Amino acid sequence: MSMRSWAKYARVTLAGALLASAVGVSGAPMVAAQEETDCSAIAGGVQLPEVVDGKFNVAMVLIGPKNDGGWSEAHFNGLVHMCENVDNIHVAYMENVAEGGDSEQVFRSLARKGFDFIIGTSFGYMDPMEIVAEDFPDSTFLHLTGYKSNFDNFGNFFGAMEDIKYLAGMLAGSRAKVDGNPKIGYMATFPIPEEIRLGNAIMLGAKQTCPECTMDVRWINTWHDPTLEREGAASLFDAGSQVVFTGADTPAVAQVAEEKGKWGVTYDHPGSCALDACLTAPYWVWGPEYARIAEQVRDGTYEAGYEYFDADAGAMGLYGFMEGETPQPGIADLPEEDVQLVKDTLAAMLAGEFTRFDVFAGRSWTTRATSSSRKASSSSRPTLTSSPTRTAPTAAPACTGGQRASRPPCRNEPIAETPGTRLEPAFPGFCTSV
């Protein structure tokens, strides 16, 4: 499943009544605590992790297993990076913790233990973390993928993966066009802002290389369920899709694509794209960002709020197109101009010259460069680098779809640089703004 190898699972047991209600898809949450100095041996345990006196104590809560080949593994890798690059730190993690109200006990227990910095890595942790943060002002809480902050000790953090999904959409559109079947599938998880943004970005990218392409969508209502993910992928392929994207955590879409003689686009982790039937994988590199924020929290300089970064932060990659990576076999016979468009647009993104606002305006780098008389360098492959410290914006740029009255409504108005233009949703219910 993964091209990386981490410490093997330790034995799993119930951790007692305190955690019995926080059962995830794989049973009781497994708890792991790091040895004081060995970052390569973050191993399992049977109880809540303990803090280490005199250390800066960090705990991470994962929705799935740490070696899922996708979302949770990418975050776990980031935790290891944090351990290796932040001085005087002790890290621990808990995995397979279900979203919703049951996870509140987990966050509350970690805060009671005395963890200084607690990271929740899934959308459904947002409300529980908000509640617990109010009760434990001496701990700092960081939530990923949501839209809430108390501007004190509870912050929100995420990145514009729509940038990279847009590029993957270009490749998928080109592949579908070459294969003579202009139909793309999207196996989406939950109808939340994150999935809505990403679905639209895929389709807008596909239209750059395949104007006739359409998209079929299946909502599977899970983040991590290998069986259900395989079934959802098979449903899309059987319904006629030539290339299928996933918003979930496992490489199932590529596995099914190989069986069907078609193409899959995996997500979150480069190790998910090991099969030849995987066209590419938009993926995360959380480590440098986690290390940066951990240092801010430890030093007392972290300002809780909303931070939403673009591709120039260096925390995202497009598998096969980053430094040291080889394009997947499905790229080899695509039109040269399509592949070059992807390379040029990626280079512009990493240079900060092409952002999510360009994505949702439906531009390509070719049209952007022409209108602005700027050109991205494509002489060498882009490299993932750590980002400098940035000031958090005063409001989350992430589109809320108008779901919550407490947040700005989804902005479907024309982008300023293209007056008089209004983008229509790629498919019903998907918001096209940021």
Number of domains in the chain: 2
What confidence tens digit (pLDDT) does each residue in 203-213 have?
Answer: 999 999 999 99
Residues 88 and 107 in one domain: yes
Residues 228 and 339 in one domain: yes
* Pairing mode, strands 243-246 and 263-265: parallel
Instruction: Give the per-residue pLDDT at 370.
Output: 54
Residues 202 and 119 in one domain: no
Beta strands across the sheet bearing 243-246: 214-219, 183-188, 243-246, 263-265, 278-280
Q: How far apart are CA 68 and CA 304, in angstroms?
A: 30
What confidence tens digit (pLDDT) does each residue in 47-77 have?
Answer: 588 899 999 999 999 998 888 888 999 999 9
Q: Which residue has the higher pLDDT, 340 or 367?
A: 340
Lowest mean per-residue pLDDT among 13-17, 24-28, 194-198? 13-17
Residue 90 belongs to domain with CATH number: 3.40.50.2300
Residue 173 lies in a domain: yes
Instruction: Give the per-residue pLDDT at 371.
Output: 52
Residues 280 and 361 in one domain: yes
Residue 390 lies in a domain: no
Q: Which residue has the higher pLDDT, 386 or 260?
A: 260
Classified as helix, coil or strand, 256 is helix
Residues 119 and 194 in one domain: no
Residues 175 and 218 in one domain: yes
Q: How confident is the model at residue 102 (pLDDT cuts 50, 70, 90)?
A: confident
Residue 244's H or E segment, with its range, is strand 243-246
Residue 307 lies in a domain: no
Residues 265 and 150 in one domain: no
pLDDT surpassing 50 at residue 327: yes
Residue 248 lies in a domain: yes
Per the structure block, which two tokens stand in for 394? 């005063």
Residues 168 and 259 in one domain: yes
What is the value of pTM for the model shown? 0.76
Mean pLDDT for 218-245 is 94
Instruction: Give the per-residue pLDDT at 369.
Output: 59
Residue 14 lies in a domain: no
Residues 171 and 37 in one domain: no
Residues 68 and 196 in one domain: no
What confidence tens digit (pLDDT) does each residue in 423-434 have?
Answer: 333 333 333 332
pLDDT surpassing 60 at residue 194: yes
% of the chain exceeding 70 in pLDDT: 74
Domain boundary among 159, 186, 207: 159
pLDDT surpassing 50 at residue 45: no
Residue 387 lies in a domain: no
Q: How far apart are CA 102 and CA 13, in angstroms?
A: 18
pLDDT surpassing 70 at residue 232: yes
Instruction: Give the per-residue pLDDT at 345.
Output: 96
Per the structure block, which two tokens stand in for 368? 């952007």
Strand partners, 27: 24
pLDDT surpassing 80 at residue 350: yes
Residues 87 and 175 in one domain: no
Per the structure block, which two tokens stand in for 15? 């951790």
Angle, alpha carbons 239-173-187 (nearest 5°): 45
Residues 147 and 170 in one domain: no
Domain that holds residue 142: 30-159
Domain boundary among 350, 372, 394: 372
Residue 239 lies in a domain: yes
Helix axes 287-299, 71-85, angle to 10 degrees: 50
Q: Do you know the residue count of the chain?
A: 434
What confidence tens digit (pLDDT) does each residue in 363-385 have?
Answer: 777 766 555 444 444 434 444 43
Instruction: Give the per-residue pLDDT at 368.
Output: 61
pLDDT surpassing 80 at residue 322: yes
Please provide the distance, in angstroms rounded to a whole number, between the alpha carbons at the two ends of the chain: 33
Q: How confident is the model at residue 11 (pLDDT cuts 50, 70, 90)?
A: very low
Q: How confident is the model at residue 37 (pLDDT cuts 50, 70, 90)?
A: low
Mean pLDDT of the chain, nearest integer: 79
Residue 359 lies in a domain: yes
Mean pLDDT for 5-15 is 28
Q: Which residue has the higher pLDDT, 39 or 318?
A: 318
Lowest mean per-residue pLDDT among 8-17, 233-242, 347-356, 425-434? 8-17
* Pairing mode, strands 316-318 and 282-284: antiparallel
Domain boundary among 372, 399, 422: 372
